[in-house]
Structure 1
Amino acid sequence: MKYESIQLEKKVNVHGQDSTCFSVEPVLRCLPGCSPVKTTSVNVGFKCFAADSSRDLSNIFNESVDLRDSTEAHLACSCSAQCS
């Protein structure tokens, strides 16, 4: 498992523009190839960008919060033999 920025799954309109939002707080997620078997709802801050813009997310944890919303944090994962 690792902490990472995640994309908000629902469509958001910020300042009159369709936007894509990413968490500015790390959220615990399963590694690629693994599936969550236990989750919990967490409320985190998101930074939103115009949907058609490209964005470097390497400094996302230093961005300001545009909105807060709930998302799922993974607490336990099930991995295939090659990923565990």
Structure 2
Amino acid sequence: MVLGIGGSFQYGIQVSVIASPEEHVQSFVNYTWLWRYDAPVTDSSNKLIWSFIVAVLSLGAWAGAIHSGSLPVTYGR
């Protein structure tokens, strides 16, 4: 069974990098929501926003990896 980059790599990133600041990021989301809308965010909405942040992080890492060769050549280091 071959998991490749979509399996064990994503699990390792989730466990080591993304899971550690979860409480702080969710607290920041709740604080920002409270500041903007004068009401606390519901737990389900907070989890939904956290899920979106985790998904975007993976997409951003993918886009950065794809363009890491051409951007330094074009714009310099």
Structure number with higher relative contact order (C-alpha < 8 Å, ≥ 6 residues apart): 1
Q: Which has the larger radius of gyration?
A: 2
More helix by share: 2
| Smaller-chain TM-score bracket | under 0.3
